[in-house]
Structure 1
Amino acid sequence: MLPPTAGPNSPWHGIPAYIAGTTALAGLGLAAGGTAGALLATELAGTASVAGLPVALHLGGSAVGALLVSHQAGRGHRGRGLALGLVLGALGALAVVLAAKQGSLAWMLAGSALLGTANSSIFLLRYTAAQAVPEGSRGRALGAVFLATALGAVISPLLLGPSGTAAHAIGLPTLCGLYLVAFVAFGGSALLLAAGCSPRTPVLGRAASVLASGLRPARGTVRLGAALREPAAVVALSALAGANFIMVGVMTLTPVHLSQHGAGHGVVGSFVALHVVGMFAPAPLVGRLADRYGPMPVVLIGAVISLMASVLGSFSTGPTTMTTVHLVLAGLGWNFGVVGASTLLTGAVPGQLRPYVEGIGEATMGAAAVVVAPLVAALPGAWGYHLLGLCAVALTALALVRMRRPAADLLLSTPRMLK
């Protein structure tokens, strides 16, 4: 059933406009865990070797949060779970600010883990979009929510300089600025989502048909295990993990790499913003490609683009044109991989099991990030980029092997699709 706020010709495909606004607002806090986290840990510890730790813990928290949110969604409380993840993320941002004020790296890392739960809510909103539209429009719905996320996520790293100035003015370390932004953004979006869960809420309550949908809880680990062993689900989960592995590796290395080459916080924020544009802006087009030609080719294109980005990163030397191309391609490869794999995953399992598998998909992405972030950050100089390039080659080869049979099936069905 489509929400009553949008007809079949709406660009949001039945998703209430306020959900897009809520996603954009929450996106303002995304740079706190990545861009600011790596820099703040380096500042507190006095060495860049710990830069990957807050990123890894942040994304580990995101993986745990995904399971929490998906459990609520499977019980028919999707909106409540999403709001809970954002509230916990806001508390994590506040914890990091207090830790930085005290100069405590340990408490900063603990706050980073809690902050990650907000990420899971932000990115699981794309599946809320897919739930509300017919099967043939899922890619476009996912793309629309990613575009809404971009509105906040692109602005977020650009606030590194201005928010730092504001934080310094009130007696806090400058890198606390983005965490204050995250506290407000996550808290505000959680309130909006909570309001939309009740049909009695004026205007916003129209979204309750999606946020408080009456899914009957699926029972039995046997059915869930069987769904996860489906070839399409295996490919989708592998692609989600691979795309996030490469993207998080790039995001962990780049802020510290640019800073070591003399770039200020404003310049670092600008470069990260370009990367975020590549991550989210093309999503509506990529979603249409997934609906038109199927998600498999989209996933494969993403793997190849990510490989190209990782190889270029090996030759990156500070804030140059090559670094710009490298970051944009890294974001674009992630976009193709995640939009394609998410579209594939939503069609790979039955409706009652879908919320649980969606959460497992997010947790898989988080697990890949937890592995790569400390690994690349602990290596000296450009070795992190070289390792990431080698991993990209291996992951792309694995994607080709995984997809050879599904891709063959796709080629056989393409003539019928185009008729």
Structure 2
Amino acid sequence: MSTDAATQSRIVRVLVAGQVLAGLGQGATLAIGAVIANEIAGEAFSGAAATSSTLGAAIAAIPLARLAQRFGRRPALALGAATAAGGSILTVVATGLVFFPLLVVGFAMLGVGTAVGLQARFAATDVAAPARRGRDLSLVVWSTTIGAVVGPNLFGPGVAIQDALGLPEHTGSFVIAIAAQVTAALLYLSALRPDPLRLARGRAVLPAPTAVAGIVRGRSALVFAIGSIAISHAVMVSVMSMTPVHLTHQGASLTIIGFTISLHVAGMFGLAPAFGWASDRWGRLPVILGGQALLGTAVFVIGVGAQNTLFVTVALVLLGLGWSAATVAGSALVSDLVTGATRLRVQGRTDTIMSLAGAIGGGAAGPVLSIVGYSGLAWVAGVLVLAVLAAASIIRPRVPRYL
């Protein structure tokens, strides 16, 4: 193994370990956040957990990118993880006080952890070989699976922790998140050496020949890449964030809800390396479009089977898979298309737009659920999927027709 390859391997291993911890923290609090918001503020505000979290990620993305530009990836990732730990603490306090505005702030700070994960996937591409850029990025995305799948199933231990510490109901999982997020911050500070962004400065960014095949490169391709990531994220967040509330109304237990979210998260991250490999091998666009097909199938299944828990569970897995394909291939395409000093800035803007789209989707999901129900929410999300499919024609080469 060459020196560059060995260094990249070490960087990816550290990023993977950090994402395992981050995933544990996020997974332990993801589903329960909607339940807490619903109990404190009512159904119309039950999407506040996802909305505030994604908004927090959006607000943090560009400042974290600027911090990384100036000082490197290491301090930026560590600060983001520490901020997420502070959000977990604030959420526990707000729940105990039954004070919704403070709860919203806590969820927003938790969202900074999401911004860290988004930046980490781009960090994996800083010095990656062009032919492996999609796979290295996807390995970091995939690594969230371990913690995120285990996290929602820690409700039982969370209850034991909250009872032992005398904490408010549903907050024990946040104690687990605090420990995971603090550990991730310490890991980034101590082990992410050499800093990948510092190594990348002055190096040319070249896409793999097959990665952008069938795409007209230019501003329209970059806009499409960022837009497909953002819209796919909005679809996923809007449907996923209302699933715990819908299942609660259906009489499902927290165990069932946690299991359903675990399968959804497994879909989000479990096959990410396969999507990364496919995007390196066959190109970014086919994988992005495949992701839209999976998202479309998911919302269709919910649209016709919202009252069936099995249908909802299957749809949530498909929803996760579609998000994974679109996010991995779309993020790799952004990294392919942007070079030079603007690269980090565009990556930060991509994460901001993605998170804002998720915040809008999560914020709108609660009122839409109240008006048209869970099935109606799915059909509305389906319109967004169709928009991405229609937009794909913009970046395809135009082949002349001959009579």
Please, which of 79, 83, 87 is the counterpart of residue 78 of structure 2?
A: 83
Distance 1:129 1:5 in 2: 12
Give yes or no for the alignment of 1:307 onto 2:293: no
Shift of the alpha carbon at 1:310?
1.0
Residue matched to 2:247: 258
> How far did 1:88 drift?
0.8
Aligned partner of 1:360 in structure 2 is 349
CA deviation map 1:238-268 (0-9, x unaligned): 1111110111012211111111111111111
Q: Which SS does the other structure have where 2:11 is aligned? A: coil
Q: Is the 8 A contact 1:307 1:389 kept in 2?
A: no
Question: Relative to 1, partners in 2 of residues 1:325 and 1:36: Cα closer, same or farther, differing over 3 Å?
Answer: same
Q: Distance in 1 between matches of 2:393 and 2:368?
A: 34
Name the residue aligned to 1:73: 68
Structure 2: which 5+ residue stretches go unaligned?
203-216
Cα distance change on mapping 1:351 and 1:182 into 2, 3 Å: farther
Among 222, 239, 258, the alignment partner of 2:228 is 239
| Separation in 2, partners of 1:111, 1:381 | 25
Which amino acid is 1:142 matched to? L
Separation in structure 2 between the aligned mates of residue 213 and residue 175 of structure 1, nearest angstrom: 44
Opposite residue 122 of structure 1, the aligned amino acid is G
Matching of residues 124-163 of structure 1 within 5 Å: 124-163=119-158
User: Which shows bigger deviation, 232-241 or 72-81?
Assistant: 72-81
- Quick one: structure 1 residues 380 and 333, their matched pair in 2 at CA, closer, same or farther if it must change by over 3 Å? closer
1:343 aligns with 2:332: yes
Q: Distance in 2 between matches of 1:250 and 1:83?
A: 30
Q: Give the superposition deviation at 1:209.
A: 3.8
Counterpart CA distance in 2 for 1:252 and 1:340 is 24
Per the TM alignment, residue 5 of structure 1 is displaced from its structure 2 partner at its CA by 7.7
Cα distance in structure 1, aligned partners of 2:236 and 2:358:
9
Q: For 1:161, what is the secondary structure of its paired residue?
A: helix
- Cross-structure match for 1:6: 6
Distance 1:115 1:295, change over 3 A: same
Distance 1:357 1:371 in 2: 21
Equivalent in the alignment of 1:291? 280
> How far off is 1:355 after superposition?
1.3
For 1:17-416, what aligned pairs fall within 5 Å after superposition? 17-32=13-28, 34-45=30-41, 47-197=42-192, 207-210=193-196, 212-213=198-199, 215=201, 230-317=219-306, 320-380=309-369, 383-408=372-397
C-alpha displacement of 1:19: 2.6
- How many angstroms does 1:272 deviate by? 0.2
Q: Is the 8 A contact 1:75 1:215 kept in 2?
A: no
Shift of 1:211: 5.5
SS in 2 for 1:344: helix
* Alpha-carbon spacing, 1:283–1:16, altered in 2? closer, same or farther (3 Å): closer
Residue of structure 2 equivalent to 1:417: none
Gaps of 5+ in 1: 198-206, 217-227, 413-419
| Secondary structure, aligned partner of 2:368 | coil
CA 1:229–1:164 in structure 2 vs 1: closer, same or farther (change >3 Å)?
farther
For the 8 Å contact 1:143–1:283, the answer to whether it is kept is yes
Pairwise CA distance, 1:386: 3.7
How many angstroms apart in 2 are the aligned matches of 1:54 and 1:161?
21
Q: Matches of 1:32 and 1:278 in 2, distance apart?
A: 17
Stretch deviating more after TM superposition (315-324 or 336-345): 315-324
State the 1:231 CA deviation.
1.7
Pair 1:396–1:78, CA change in 2 (3 A): same
Any idea what the Cα deviations from partners look like across 1:126-153, whole Å, max 9, x if unmatched? 1111112111111111111122111111
State percent identity of aligned pairs. Answer: 30
Q: Indicate conservation of the 8 Å contact 1:76/1:213, yes or no.
A: no
Q: 1:194 to 1:175 in 2, by over 3 A?
A: same
Give 1:200's aligned residue: none
Whether contact under 8 Å (1:4, 1:14) holds in the other structure is no
> Structure 2 CA distance, aligned partners of 1:22 and 1:109?
25
Instruction: Return the TM-score normalized by structure 2.
Output: 0.89
Shift of 1:76: 4.6
Equivalent residue pairs, number: 386
Return 101-110 or 13-22, whichever deviates more.
Answer: 13-22
Aligned partners of 2:51, 2:373: CA distance in 1, in Å? 15
* Counterpart Cα distance in 2 of 1:382 and 1:306: 23
The answer to whether the Cα contact below 8 Å between 2:29 and 2:152 also exists between their aligned partners in 1 is no
Task: Name whichever of 354-363 and 281-290 sits farther off.
Answer: 354-363
Deviations 1:86-122 (A, max 9, x none): 1111111100111111221221111111111111002
Normalised by the length of structure 1, the TM-score is: 0.86
For 1:137 and 1:195, locate their aligned partners in 2 and report how far apart those are by CA, in whole Å: 26
Q: In structure 1, the residue corresponding to 2:341 is in which secondary structure?
A: coil
The one-letter code sitting in structure 2 at the alignment partner of 1:41 is: A
Q: Cα RMSD over matched residues? A: 2.4
Cα gap change, 1:167 to 1:279, in 2 (>3 Å) = same
Q: CA offsets, 1:336-370, max 9 Å, x none?
A: 11011001100111132211111111111111111
SS state at 1:208 partner: coil
Query: Cα distance, 1:14 vs. partner?
Result: 5.5
CA separation in 2, counterparts of 1:229 and 1:75? Answer: 27
